[in-house]
Amino acid sequence: MKTDKEFKCVDFKHETQMQIYGEIKNLTPEEEIKYFRRRVESGVFGKWWEKLHGGAAAASGYNKMTE
């Protein structure tokens, strides 16, 4: 099925990046980390993230990579 609307990947990526920037521009580095972790956990990769990091460990902010 062909549509008349052209999808422009680069434009979509730029718009998405600008939206995220608007949401994080006033956050501290620690708040940015929490923001992205929440986004991953609530997104399509949430189950993978929980399996990789363990549900309680991820929720508490435990980061195996920084130890």
Query: Domain of 33?
Result: 28-67
1 assigned to some structural domain: no
Which pLDDT score is estimated for 61?
56
37 assigned to some structural domain: yes
63 assigned to some structural domain: yes
Q: How many domains does the chain have?
A: 1
Task: In whole angstroms, give the CA distance from residue 52 to residue 66.
Answer: 15
Is residue 29 over pLDDT 80? yes
Q: Which residues, 6 or more positions from 40, have their beta carbon under 8 angstroms from its beta carbon?
A: 46, 49
Least confident of 20-24, 34-38, 40-44: 40-44
DSSP 25: T
51 assigned to some structural domain: yes
53 assigned to some structural domain: yes
Which pLDDT score is estimated for 40?
86
Q: Which residues, 6 or more positions from 49, have their beta carbon under 8 angstroms from its beta carbon?
A: 40, 41, 58
57 assigned to some structural domain: yes
32 assigned to some structural domain: yes
